């Protein structure tokens, strides 16, 4: 037994009197860290959940004390099914690359995947593999001379065939029921777990994601499948409405039909899987068009879902050019819903096109669009700068800033600016750059040469209009690789109306903006077209409350990084021009993939009761 000097002395004496070995210890050194340690120990030992209180005061069993803390809901009586669902779902843990065995296993996966470079990936329509004369070349952004794969490129006619196959498969998939669909998706999630390192290795090579980012991408894909298959089972259960004698009302949620999934390259498996699994879990069929830059990982998902038991035609894989395959998919009269993640320009074009009633259509399309962000972190004048710098670096430069949620503006309140800027610059100089397959890399390549040119254009704007605090050079050792590398840049005293502070850059460029006080910081943070993510580092409870009320973004983070949302914990999606629709990975997302009907029966004087009808609905 180990006891802290000055605490629990009677307990120490009692244990020693029973012949137990007791060690007395005490901290020494600087006063402030020592006091922090003592306060933590006091909190641990006086907590309502401390083992002494549970065991002695409440008489809890040893088994109960050793159980991991569970999720406690204030009131689950009104919704037991929701509580049960929450208790079952847990996020997939990220790989621990601090372990030598994990590192070695992933290095082996990277090498094994490299041996498969250059293969052909056909369209998959109605379960049939279809080759095309046109090809999409998938290149490794770290080493563009390496061709990761060659994917077939769908024509407008191919898209028509894919939609027809999805329409034909829809009744059978719809009628299989939520429970059976959930079992297919459960098998898919398990296959992902078994091939996790391989899938992450494909993402490293094809999307240029560093190790940890690629692994997290796969973990999030698994989370989406597991979360949505549970949510769909509950969502699609018929509900009884009203209690009027002689009348029975059933509220039904049913799948819409064919869903077009148009996915991005920056989360080439996670977002792709999220939109696809949401549609499949709710009984819809899917025509999937992945990003032109990442068709190979999408082909892997297609094969995995087929292996899990997805019937032919339920999911159709049609990579291709946006202006051909994407355009036809958006305008096709047989598509009921479009799930899109990508740029604001493309998203608004899709939204406008979907509103146009084309010949042969009997419905207006729904559009779910996750678009861009111009995300800000406010650093209050009392903020913990150690935490703030660490959170900003992770949010701004992870995956070279190629996330919708990435931090591209830092708004420093009052005198904190002069303390924050040099520390942020010094920390950013140490962030490792390199190819994505190097385990030390944080800032890897950007996705393509056009992206690199666009980002460099914004850096030139910063040179002319702001204070260039730091513009790193790409390490000379990377030049022979020929990759699409852009080094981090930080600009100070950026004007709030500058393009640097208003336009989405999607690269490792950070703007520092001074604010006179906290109110002005909030005003600057929200004075943009986007409202996706945001953050604040502050020790002031009143400022944290004010941010909660007035910093209106889809995902607001207090005293932590603003990237890294987890399914079921931080549903993700924005306001304003950041998107249309409910947040992904949250309790409302699947509602968008269904349509509702009400069946009302008058049961008086008809010679039979409605119990048979009710039973058949509830078993459907």
Q: Residues with catalytic annotation? A: 370, 404
Count the Cβ atoms, other than its own, within 10 Å of residue 603: 14
DSSP string, 468-513: EEEEPPPPGGGGGGT------EEEES--TTSHHHHS---SSEEEEE
CA dist., res. 427 & res. 405, Å (int): 21
Gyration radius from the chain CA atoms? 27
Q: At a CB cut-off of 8 Å and minimum separation 6, what does 160 contact? A: 328, 332
**Residue 509's beta-bridge partner residues?**
489
Instruction: For the chain, count helices (H), then strands (E).
Output: 21, 25
Percent composition of the chain: helix, strand, coil (DSSP 3-state, to 5): 45, 20, 35
The distance of Cα 46 from the centroid of its chain, to the nearest Å, equals 37
Residues 6+ apart with CB under 8 A from 391: 377, 535, 537, 559, 560, 561, 562
Q: Where are the alpha helices (DSSP H) in 23-97?
A: 31-46, 51-52, 62-66, 80-88
Token couple for 292: 């032109």
Tell me the three state secondary structure of residue 531.
Answer: strand
Please count the other Cβ atoms lying within 10 Å of the Cβ belonging to residue 4: 17
SS in 3 state form for 237-285?
Answer: CCEEECCCCCEEEEEEEEECCEEEEECCCCCCCHHHHHHHHHHHHCCCE
Q: Which residues contact 131 (CB under 8 A, 6 or more apart)?
A: 120, 122, 123, 152
Q: What does the block give as tokens for 81?
A: 């099914």
């Amino acid at each position: 037994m180990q006891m802290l000097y000055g605490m629990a002395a009677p307990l120490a004496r009692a244990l020693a009197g029973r012949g137990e070995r007791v060690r007395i210890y005490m901290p020494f050194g600087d006063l402030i860290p020592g006091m922090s340690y003592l306060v933590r120990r006091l909190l641990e030992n006086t907590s309502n959940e401390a083992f002494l209180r549970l065991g002695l005061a409440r008489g809890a069993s040893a088994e109960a004390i050793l159980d991991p803390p569970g999720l406690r809901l204030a009131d689950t009586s009104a919704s037991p099914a929701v509580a049960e669902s929450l208790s079952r779902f847990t996020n997939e843990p990220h790989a621990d690359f601090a372990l030598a065995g994990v590192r070695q296993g992933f290095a082996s996966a990277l090498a094994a995947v490299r041996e498969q470079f250059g293969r052909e990936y056909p369209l998959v329509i109605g379960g049939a593999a279809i080759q095309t004369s046109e090809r999409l070349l998938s290149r490794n952004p770290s080493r563009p001379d390496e061709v990761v794969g060659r994917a077939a490129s769908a024509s407008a006619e191919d898209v028509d065939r894919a939609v027809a196959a999805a329409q034909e498969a829809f009744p059978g998939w719809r009628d299989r029921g939520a429970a059976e669909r959930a079992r297919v998706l459960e098998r898919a999630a398990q296959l992902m777990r078994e091939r996790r390192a391989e899938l992450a290795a494909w993402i490293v090579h094809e999307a240029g994601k560093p190790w940890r980012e690629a692994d997290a991408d796969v973990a999030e894909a698994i989370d989406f499948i597991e979360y949505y298959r549970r949510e769909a089972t509950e969502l699609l259960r018929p509900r009884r409405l009203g209690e009027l004698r002689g009348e029975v009302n059933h509220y039904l949620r049913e799948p819409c039909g064919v869903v077009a999934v148009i996915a991005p390259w920056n989360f080439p498996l996670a977002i792709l899987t999220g939109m696809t699994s949401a549609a499949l879990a709710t009984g819809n069929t899917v025509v999937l068009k992945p990003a032109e830059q990442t068709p190979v990982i999408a082909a892997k998902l297609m094969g995995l879902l087929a292996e899990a038991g997805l019937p032919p035609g339920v999911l159709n894989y049609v990579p291709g050019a946006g202006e051909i395959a994407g355009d036809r998919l958006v305008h096709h009269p047989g598509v009921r819903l479009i799930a899109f993640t990508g740029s604001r320009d493309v998203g608004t074009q899709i939204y406008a096109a979907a509103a146009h009633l084309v010949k042969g259509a009997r419905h207006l399309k729904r559009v779910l669009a996750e678009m861009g962000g111009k995300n800000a972190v406010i650093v209050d004048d009392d903020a913990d700068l150690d935490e703030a710098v660490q959170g900003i670096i992770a949010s701004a430069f992870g995956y070279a800033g190629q996330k919708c949620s990435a931090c591209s503006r830092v708004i420093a309140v009052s005198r904190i600016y002069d303390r924050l800027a040099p520390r942020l610059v010094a920390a950013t100089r140490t962030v490792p750059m390199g190819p994505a397959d190097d385990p030390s890399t944080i800032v890897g390549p950007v996705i393509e040469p056009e992206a690199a040119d666009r980002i460099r254009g914004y850096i030139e704007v910063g040179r002319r209009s702001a204070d260039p605090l730091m513009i790193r050079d790409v390490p000379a050792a990377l030049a022979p690789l020929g990759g699409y590398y852009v080094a981090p840049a930080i600009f100070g005293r950026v004007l709030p109306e500058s393009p640097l502070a208003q336009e989405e850059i999607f690269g490792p460029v950070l703007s520092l903006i001074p604010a006179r006080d906290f109110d002005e910081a909030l005003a600057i943070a929200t004075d943009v077209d986007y409202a996706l993510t945001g953050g604040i580092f502050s020790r002031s409870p009143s400022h944290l409350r004010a941010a909660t009320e007035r910093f209106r973004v889809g995902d607001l983070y207090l005293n932590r990084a603003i990237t890294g949302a987890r399914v079921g914990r931080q549903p993700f999606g924005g306001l304003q021009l950041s998107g249309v629709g409910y947040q992904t990975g949250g309790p409302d997302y699947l509602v968008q993939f269904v349509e509702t009907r009400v069946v009302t029966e008058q049961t008086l004087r008809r010679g039979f009761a409605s119990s048979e009808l009710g039973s058949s609905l509830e078993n459907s």
